[in-house]
């Protein structure tokens, strides 16, 4: 069975519940490391847990969420090997996977999206990685890890 790791802070409890339910309906085994209550937790800690679990192996991709999705996606992208996208719509979710080979996707629990999060998630899941000219760019992106501009 395909596995996904999911983590969230207190600002994204409701959207994460929807995401987990949607992933299960799609046949994924979900390892939810996030919180289910409004009690405050720090999104960098949630990102670190999810990314560490993902990098240990066995997961197809990861999903992280906080109030805006911004802080948790920035935190995830600080971890070597992670490419976390924060899409605004279905097109951006598609491109995150097909062009950037993102292995994480982030959402904001307090954001009013114009398209349902589930549709963005589906676009991310269903988009093939194009490779080709994009592989060189992804490799350049990953070469920036720990580097200095």
Flag whether pLDDT at 147 surpasses 80: no
The contacts of residue 43 (CB under 8 Å, 6+ apart) are 9, 11, 64, 66, 71, 72, 75
pLDDT tens for each residue of 17-56: 999 999 999 999 999 999 999 999 999 999 999 999 999 9
Known catalytic membership, residue 99: yes
Give a yes or no: residue 45 inside a domain.
yes
Query: Domain of 122?
Result: 3-143
Known catalytic membership, residue 66: yes
Give pLDDT, residue 148: 62
pLDDT tens for each residue of 60-78: 999 999 999 999 999 999 9
From the list 66, 84, 134, 149, the catalytic residue is 66
From the list 51, 99, 134, 149, the catalytic residue is 99
What's the CA gap between 3 and 58, in Å, rounded? 7
Give a yes or no: residue 148 inside a domain.
no
Beta carbons of 5 and 23 less than 8 angstroms apart: no
Question: At 29, which CATH number?
Answer: 3.40.1400.10
pTM of the shown model? 0.95
User: How many structural domains comprise the chain?
Assistant: 1
Nearest to 65 by CA among 133, 6, 125: 6
Give a yes or no: residue 24 inside a domain.
yes
Give a yes or no: residue 149 inside a domain.
no
Beta carbons of 18 and 117 less than 8 angstroms apart: yes
Which of 3-12, 126-135, 138-147 is the most confident on average? 3-12
């Amino acid at each position: 069975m395909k596995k996904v790791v999911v983590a969230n802070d207190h600002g994204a409890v409701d959207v994460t519940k929807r995401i987990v339910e949607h992933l299960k309906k799609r046949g994924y085994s979900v390892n939810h490391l996030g919180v289910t209550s409004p009690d405050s937790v720090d999104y960098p800690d949630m990102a670190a847990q999810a990314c560490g679990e993902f990098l240990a192996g066995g997961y197809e991709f990861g999903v992280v969420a906080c109030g805006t999705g911004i802080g948790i996606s920035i935190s995830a992208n600080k971890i070597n090997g992670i490419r976390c996208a924060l899409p605004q719509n279905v097109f951006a979710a598609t491109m995150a996977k097909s062009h950037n080979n993102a292995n994480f996707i982030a959402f904001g629990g307090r954001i009013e999206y114009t398209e349902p999060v589930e549709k963005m998630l589906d676009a991310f899941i269903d988009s093939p990685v194009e490779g080709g000219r994009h592989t060189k760019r992804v490799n350049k992106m990953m070469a920036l890890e720990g580097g200095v501009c």
